[in-house]
A and B are shown apart, each in its own frame.
Chain A
């Protein structure tokens, strides 16, 4: 089993603050996805990172894939109440074919207006 640990598990911050969520594993992944999920809804894809060391930006969100493809981080600048939700990282195994996604433990973010 390829485990992904996310930290922190819970985060409550004021609007305008910055934050970073970490996703760590001892396993190598062929790619890593970040999703945001609202209660009772399906996860919505934010980004896929594939190359070790890759950095992707999505407006105020910056995603980085570790050089060894074992870890990733999500940084949010000037958080807004609309950023509230459950953030999930998910790593795809290195075997070929339809892959199981190994989900992280999740980070529940609350941005207070």
Chain B
């Protein structure tokens, strides 16, 4: 099973709302990732968790707050977003360690900020 699940599939929110995106994998992967993808562009890395600890934060604004409650779950908390934050948000996971680089992506959450 190489499945990564994400909920919700679509999300529309106002600039004052607080919402969360969820990601889950049961492959025993110890590295999990959040990416943001704008239309017609490749995914851009936001955060990396390794063994449930934040290991990379690609200078993402604080209105995005990641959380890794356990090795299978990854959340992205959203607050006071801007319309330019509208994008496809992708979660991915991989094994941790040298030579274990393959990342498996979820289907994404299409976020629209009004």
Contacts and interface: CB of A to CB of B under 8 A. Distances in A.
A30 B88 contact: no
B105 interface: yes
A33 B103 CA distance: 8
A17 to B, nearest CB: 24
Contacts of A104: 42
A99 to B, nearest CB: 5
Given A40-B110, A42-B105, A42-B107, A103 B42 contact: yes
A98 B101 CA distance: 7
Nearest to B44: A103
Interface in A41-56: 41-45, 48, 50
B107 A101 contact: no
Contacts of A97: 50, 55, 96
Interface residues of B, number: 32
A41 B101 contact: no
Interface string A20-61: 000000000011010100001111110010100000000000
Nearest to B6: A42
A24 to B, nearest CB: 15
Most buried by B among A42, A43, A105: A42
A44 B92 CA distance: 11
20 contacts: A30-B99, A31-B101, A35-B105, A40-B108, A42-B108, A45-B2, A45-B102, A45-B103, A88-B43, A96-B98, A97-B55, A97-B96, A98-B55, A99-B94, A99-B101, A101-B103, A103-B42, A103-B43, A105-B42, A106-B42
Given A35-B105, A105-B42, 15 more contacts: A30-B101, A41-B108, A43-B43, A50-B99, A88-B43, A96-B97, A97-B96, A98-B33, A98-B96, A99-B101, A100-B48, A101-B103, A103-B42, A103-B43, A104-B42
Interface of B: 2, 4, 6, 31, 33, 40-43, 45, 48-50, 55-56, 88, 90, 92, 94, 96-99, 101-108, 110
